[in-house]
Each structure stands twice: as C-alpha cells, then as structure tokens.
Amino acid sequence: MLKGSRCTSCSRSYIPPFAFCPHCVDSKVEYVDVPGEGRVVTWTRTKDGTVLVFVAFDGLEGGILHRYVAGSDPVEGMRVRPRFRAERVGSILDIEGFEPAR
Ligand SMILES: [Zn+2]
C-alpha cells in the first residue's frame, strides 16, 4: 500500500509524503494510507519508448510520476493502480509501474 502524509493542523494530505506540511509549514504530520487506485492526469512517451504517467489520488495533493506498464497507451482520467514487485525494499522502485485498475 502506498503511504501519504496528512497534516494534523490543517488536514491537508499529500503524496509523496512530506516530513512537514507545505501549506502551514507545520511538522505535525502523520502517515496515511493512499487509496488503491489513482487517475492518470497526463502521460508521455520517452525517446526509448517508455510510457510515463503522472498519477493523482482522490483526497491527496500532489501525485506520482512513474512508468505505465500495460500494452496500450493510457488515457487521461483513466483509473490505474500500482503494480508492486514481488521483492520490496521500501523504495519507490518497489512499484514496477501503474496499470489499468480494471
Ligand atoms: Zn497543514
């Protein structure tokens, strides 16, 4: 499960998580679970053919830029979920990429 941060002063939540709240510059933050699905805000294809998506999550500010791992091109607004690697070490690379949620 992905983790975000939530400010206990203003209740804003962020992904990726911050050690402080960027809005009120308060360090009273806690980790929160991120919904299992996000939505593609935008995407691009690199010169080597890698497809990258910027994924936002309901209720959280910010998002994650990562690979898109499916056969067809993504569509802006489509629901996606992270595909995790079998072996995890607590890194952003524990996510192999994002794939269609359904
Ligand atoms: Zn705050």
Output the pTM of the full model: 0.90
Q: Which of 44, 74, 68, 58 is nearest to 15 (CA)?
A: 58
Could you state, in order of their start, the residue ranges of all structural domains in the chain? 1-34, 35-102
What's the gap in Å between 70 CA and the centre of ligand 1? 36
What's the gap in Å between 61 CA and the centre of ligand 1? 12
What band does 101 get if pLDDT is binned at 50, 70 and 90? very high
What residues are neighbours of ligand 1 (ion), with CB under 5 Å? 7, 9-10, 21, 23-24
The mean pLDDT value for 19-27 works out to 89
Q: 89: which DSSP letter?
A: -
What band does 67 get if pLDDT is binned at 50, 70 and 90? very high
What's the gap in Å between 5 CA and the centre of ligand 1? 10
Task: Say if CB 63 and CB 56 are below 8 A apart.
Answer: yes
For residue 71, pLDDT over 90 is answered with no
What's the gap in Å between 33 CA and the centre of ligand 1? 17
